[in-house]
């Protein structure tokens, strides 16, 4: 191969690295090379874009900014200013997160507490948000989840009768309890809900057969 035909190495732009760390919102600009005032402008812009997507905790935003290479002092000032105008509010974020995840994803309090912890929400703030779900609310949501699963489960065996296929029933109980456990519901309550709903479903099947 003629030397002129050899492939030339690709020049790496200033601020580029394998992880993207150190770049600002403008592609290829090294955040660390910017003046603090310019860093603050770009850090604020990035936070606003992230908050447009969905509500976020202060810890989530802080991590995003840190990963981009913004200085710690800049991050603190930007997040403090956003907190002053209530764009960053961990209490409001936690309350919204708990309501949404419990209502639409069927998550129990234990799972929600873990999720808030991974979001960096302080334990006392998380506890306040979780207080909006009481025992009756959690049980009612668990009942809805079990009922939904039972609509597609096979109930062609006698669930509570002495002649029923107990092995099938036991497998169904384990499957339903495991489903609730994965969503963060207490084991004792899960068993109670599953047993009650299986008994109700069995009674309805019996009524249909008798009719």
Q: What is the CATH number of the domain that holds 96?
A: 1.10.10
pLDDT at 56: 96
Maximal CA-CA distance, the chain: 91
Q: What is the CATH number of the domain that holds 51?
A: 1.10.10.10
Region of 105 on the Ramachandran plot (φ > 0 left; ψ -120 to 50 alpha; else beta): alpha
Residue 125 lies in a domain: yes
Residues 151 and 199 in one domain: yes
pLDDT at 10: 46
**Are the CB atoms for 82 and 50 separated by under 8 Å?**
no
Rounded-to-integer distance, Cα 206 and Cα 203, Å: 5
- Domain's final residue, options 69, 100, 133: 133
The number of folded domains in the chain is 3
Q: Which residues contact 184 (CB under 8 A, 6 or more apart)?
A: 107, 108, 109, 110, 111, 112, 113, 114
Residue 200 lies in a domain: yes
Residue-number span of the structural domain to which 48 is assigned: 31-88
**How far is the CA of 59 from the CAs of 20, 50, 84, 165, in angstroms?**
20, 13, 16, 52
Q: What predicted TM-score, i.e. pTM, was given to this entire model?
A: 0.75
Rounded-to-integer distance, Cα 129 and Cα 56, Å: 15
**Are the CB atoms for 164 and 155 separated by under 8 Å?**
no
pLDDT at 167: 78
pLDDT at 204: 54
**Are the CB atoms for 142 and 108 separated by under 8 Å?**
yes
The 8 Å CB, 24+ separation contacts for 99-106 are 99/132, 102/133, 102/137, 102/141, 105/183, 106/141, 106/144, 106/145, 106/183
Residues 107 and 153 in one domain: no
Q: Render each residue's pLDDT in the chain as its tens digit; 211 residues.
A: 444 444 444 444 444 443 344 444 445 467 777 888 999 999 999 999 999 999 999 999 999 999 999 999 999 999 999 999 999 999 999 999 999 999 999 999 999 999 999 999 999 999 999 999 999 999 999 999 999 999 887 655 444 444 455 678 888 999 999 999 999 999 999 999 999 999 988 765 444 344 4
Residues 57 and 118 in one domain: no
């Amino acid at each position: 191969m003629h030397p002129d035909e050899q492939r030339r190495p690709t020049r790496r732009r200033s601020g580029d690295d394998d992880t993207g760390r150190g770049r600002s919102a403008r592609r290829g600009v090294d955040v660390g090379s910017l003046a603090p005032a310019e860093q603050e402008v770009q850090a604020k812009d990035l936070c606003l874009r992230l908050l447009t997507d969905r509500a976020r905790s202060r810890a989530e935003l802080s991590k995003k900014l840190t990963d981009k290479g913004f200085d710690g002092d800049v991050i603190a000032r930007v997040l403090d200013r956003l907190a002053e105008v209530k764009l960053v509010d961990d209490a409001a974020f936690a309350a919204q997160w708990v309501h949404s995840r419990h209502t639409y994803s069927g998550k129990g309090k234990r799972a929600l507490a873990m999720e808030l912890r991974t979001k960096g929400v302080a334990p006392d703030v998380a506890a306040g948000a979780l207080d909006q779900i009481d025992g009756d609310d959690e049980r009612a949501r668990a009942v809805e989840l079990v009922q939904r699963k039972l609509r597609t489960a096979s109930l062609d065996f006698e669930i509570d009768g002495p002649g029923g296929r107990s092995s099938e029933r036991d497998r169904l109980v384990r499957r339903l309890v495991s489903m609730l456990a994965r969503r963060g519901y207490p084991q004792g309550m899960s068993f109670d809900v599953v047993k009650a709903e299986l008994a109700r479903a069995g009674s309805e099947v019996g009524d249909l057969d008798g009719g």
